[in-house]
């Protein structure tokens, strides 16, 4: 897509992995302001915590394999699902795509040498690690990790003896890290686009990250102050959410969801962006409905910010509010469906190359559709009364967040892996892992949807006999899923060391990152490219 100047960037330039900066060894990484190295720093953190989160999930499933208290106690079970939720949401699903793939590829895709504020970018990573360490410290200090669920609802967050203050402070720090990444991306997109890179020549991954960044900036401060208020509550007893002192726990839920609902769009929008990159590449045609997809990202960001009340249909908010929130929730389905139709239209009559990234991207569409439809079901007032706080919600959430975001993240990792590390993984093993993940995933979470519909409540450490066979199927599914995930991770890690050298453009992608060598040179481009056509012109 860019001028001829790019074709000879290969000679004499040191790639970012071999580049010698001010520091060497590990210091050359943890003090590097190179957006690509910071992306990999996040990747190592995300992978590490993902393995921990998976292990916690496995423990939860293992307890449900049998009836009665077997593997863990009821209290431990509460702590386990809280920790599982906090780790998976705040340490993995929120940062995975923006902080890893976004950091690495957003500057290259807009034709810049780095993000707008490289030092702030490094600072974000340090905040991320600080938050993670604080969360871990709270495990082993005064009362242990909270047993409140990842939502930290009042008034239980005031009454429980567990170490709520430290955990919510960790969430506050993580939120700050997320805000600074968003701030950096917005400024980068506005200020550092290469000459000729007009707004409508931006890759759609950049559009998705741009929309995400606005939510990060505008919604995260609200959860920041909410967490701070719990922190103050526990330290000084200000009692703003404490009913004993006149406080209103419903207000806590409002403030919490004003952030935490938009947060699920922080999680899913970048995933949609990744899928939008992969589909045109492997269909070898331009994207269908570029402007509609770009606009729908902003539409989801906007509409998604106004639906938080659908988490509170049975909490005692007013009926009028519930009706309005229910209607707004349905509206989110429109821009989402626009994306799905455009992806399918792009594939139509394309020259399909069924490589591992496309397999993951297609399974994203399938799983995300189930997640989306069950979401609309939960947005219906009368249905929600029946399904609220059941496994149906858990199943829905995992279809969206795991089947959606994490599947897109894995798709993106397989798509960009040769670019990031200059090596190719074993595609047959990658396909095998995909098949296991897909089968295990549906066994685990579709069963949860059924269990929930039959009335199995969430967050119980035990279950009644009529749910037993369902739980056994789900637990066996979790083993298959984890086996697939492990094979997938090991396959990629092995390729790091011993994979064959990858070409600059193994998939025949058309966006700017495929025009630079693999791995990219230290400052991405020898000369800033001049862009003279759209992102997906094959």
Partner 1 sequence: MSSVAETAVHEEKHSDVIGAKMGMWLFLFTELLLFGGMFILYAAYRAKHQHEFFLSSAELNMPIGTLNTALLLTSSLTVALSIEALRRGSRNLSKLFLLATIVMGFGFLVNKYFEWSAKIHHGIYPNSPELLKASAGEQLFFSLYYVMTGLHGLHVLVGVLVLGWIYTLIQKNPTDPGNFIKLENGGLYWHLVDVIWIFLFPLFYLIS
Site residues for partner 1 per CB under 8 A? 3, 5, 113, 116-117, 120, 179, 182-184, 186-187, 190-192, 194-195, 217-222, 224-226, 228-229, 232, 236-240, 245-248, 251, 254-255, 258, 527-528, 530
For partner 1, give the closer residue by CB, 50 or 231. Answer: 231
* Contacts of residue 161, Cβ cutoff 8 Å, sequence gap at least 6: 143
- DSSP character string of 269-332: HHHHHHHHHHHHHHHTSPPSSHHHHHHHHHHHHHHHTT-GGGG-TTTT--HHHHHHHHHHHHHH
For partner 1, give the closer residue by CB, 164 or 430. Answer: 164
Distance CA 436, CA 389 (A): 29
For partner 1, give the closer residue by CB, 185 or 397. Answer: 185
Minimum distance of partner 1 from residue 525's CB (angstroms): 9
The dihedral built from the CA positions of residue 512, 518, 522 and 525, taken in this order, carries a sign that is negative
Minimum distance of partner 1 from residue 248's CB (angstroms): 7
Distance CA 45, CA 365 (A): 27
Structure tokens at 508: 């025949």
For partner 1, give the closer residue by CB, 390 or 524. Answer: 524
For partner 1, give the closer residue by CB, 308 or 536. Answer: 308
Backbone angles phi, psi at 390, to 5 degrees: -115, 180
Structure tokens at 483: 């086996």
Minimum distance of partner 1 from residue 128's CB (angstroms): 17
Backbone angles phi, psi at 32, to 5 degrees: -80, 140
Minimum distance of partner 1 from residue 311's CB (angstroms): 17
For partner 1, give the closer residue by CB, 251 or 306. Answer: 251
For partner 1, give the closer residue by CB, 324 or 424. Answer: 324
Distance CA 279, CA 108 (A): 19
Distance CA 71, CA 93 (A): 27
Minimum distance of partner 1 from residue 212's CB (angstroms): 14
Minimum distance of partner 1 from residue 13's CB (angstroms): 15
Minimum distance of partner 1 from residue 498's CB (angstroms): 38
Of 368, 365, 288, 102, the residue nearest 210 (C-alpha): 102
H helices within 31-163, ranges in order?
Answer: 35-65, 74-86, 94-95, 103-110, 118-140, 156-159
Minimum distance of partner 1 from residue 427's CB (angstroms): 38
For partner 1, give the closer residue by CB, 173 or 358. Answer: 173
Backbone angles phi, psi at 153, to 5 degrees: -60, 140
Distances (CA, A) of 527 to 4, 92, 224, 521: 11, 35, 41, 11
For partner 1, give the closer residue by CB, 175 or 509. Answer: 175
Minimum distance of partner 1 from residue 492's CB (angstroms): 34
């Amino acid at each position: 897509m860019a001028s001829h100047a790019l074709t000879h960037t290969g000679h004499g330039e040191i790639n970012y992995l071999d580049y010698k900066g001010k520091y060497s060894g590990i210091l050359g990484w943890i003090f590097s302001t190179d957006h690509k190295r910071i992306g990999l720093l996040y990747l190592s953190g995300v992978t590490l915590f993902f393995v921990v989160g998976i292990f916690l999930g496995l423990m939860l499933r293992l307890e449900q394999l049998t009836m009665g208290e077997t593997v863990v106690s009821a209290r431990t079970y509460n702590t386990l699902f809280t920790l599982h939720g906090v780790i998976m949401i705040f340490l993995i699903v929120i940062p995975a795509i923006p902080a890893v793939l976004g950091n690495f590829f957003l500057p290259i895709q807009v034709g810049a040498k780095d993000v707008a504020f490289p030092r702030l970018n490094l600072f974000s990573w340090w905040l991320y690690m600080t938050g993670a360490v604080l969360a871990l410290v709270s495990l082993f200090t005064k009362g242990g990790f909270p047993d409140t669920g990842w939502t930290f609802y009042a008034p239980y967050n005031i009454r429980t003896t567990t170490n709520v203050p430290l955990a919510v402070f960790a969430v506050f720090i993580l939120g700050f890290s997320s805000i600074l990444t968003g701030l950096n991306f917005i400024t980068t997109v506005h200020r550092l686009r290469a000459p000729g890179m007009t707004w409508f020549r931006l890759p759609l991954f950049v559009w998705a990250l741009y929309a995400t960044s606005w939510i990060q900036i505008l919604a995260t401060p609200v959860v920041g102050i909410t967490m701070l208020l719990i922190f103050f509550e526990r330290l000084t007893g200000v009692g703003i959410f404490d009913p004993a002192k006149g406080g209103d726990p419903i207000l806590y839920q409002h403030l919490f969801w004003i952030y935490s609902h938009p947060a699920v769009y922080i999680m899913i929008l970048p995933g949609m962006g990744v899928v939008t990159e992969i589909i045109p590449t492997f269909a070898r045609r331009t994207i269908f409905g570029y402007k509609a997809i770009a606009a729908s990202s902003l539409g989801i960001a906007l509409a998604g910010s106004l639906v938080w009340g659908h988490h509170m249909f049975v909490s005692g908010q007013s009926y009028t509010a519930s009706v309005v929130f229910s209607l707004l929730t349905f509206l989110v389905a429109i821009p989402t469906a626009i994306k799905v139709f455009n992806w399918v239209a792009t594939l139509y009559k394309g020259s399909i190359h069924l490589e591992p990234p496309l397999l993951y991207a297609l399974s994203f569409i399938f799983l995300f559709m189930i997640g989306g439809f069950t979401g609309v079901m939960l947005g219906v007032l009368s249905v929600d009364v029946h399904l609220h706080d059941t496994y149906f919600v858990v199943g829905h959430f995992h279809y969206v967040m795991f089947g959606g975001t994490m599947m897109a993240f894995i798709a993106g990792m397989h798509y960009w892996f040769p670019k990031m590390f200059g090596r190719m993984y074993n595609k047959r093993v990658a396909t095998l892992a995909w098949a296991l993940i897909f089968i295990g995933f549906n066994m685990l979470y579709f069963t949860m949807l059924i269990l929930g519909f039959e009335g199995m409540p969430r967050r119980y450490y035990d279950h009644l006999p009529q749910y037993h066979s369902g739980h056994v199927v789900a637990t066996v599914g979790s083993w298959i899923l984890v086996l697939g995930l492990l094979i997938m991770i090991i396959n990629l890690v092995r390729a790091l060391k011993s994979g064959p050298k990858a070409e600059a453009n193994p998939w025949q992608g058309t966006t700017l990152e495929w025009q630079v060598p693999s791995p990219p040179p230290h400052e991405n481009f020898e000369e800033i490219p001049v862009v003279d056509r759209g992102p997906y012109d094959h």
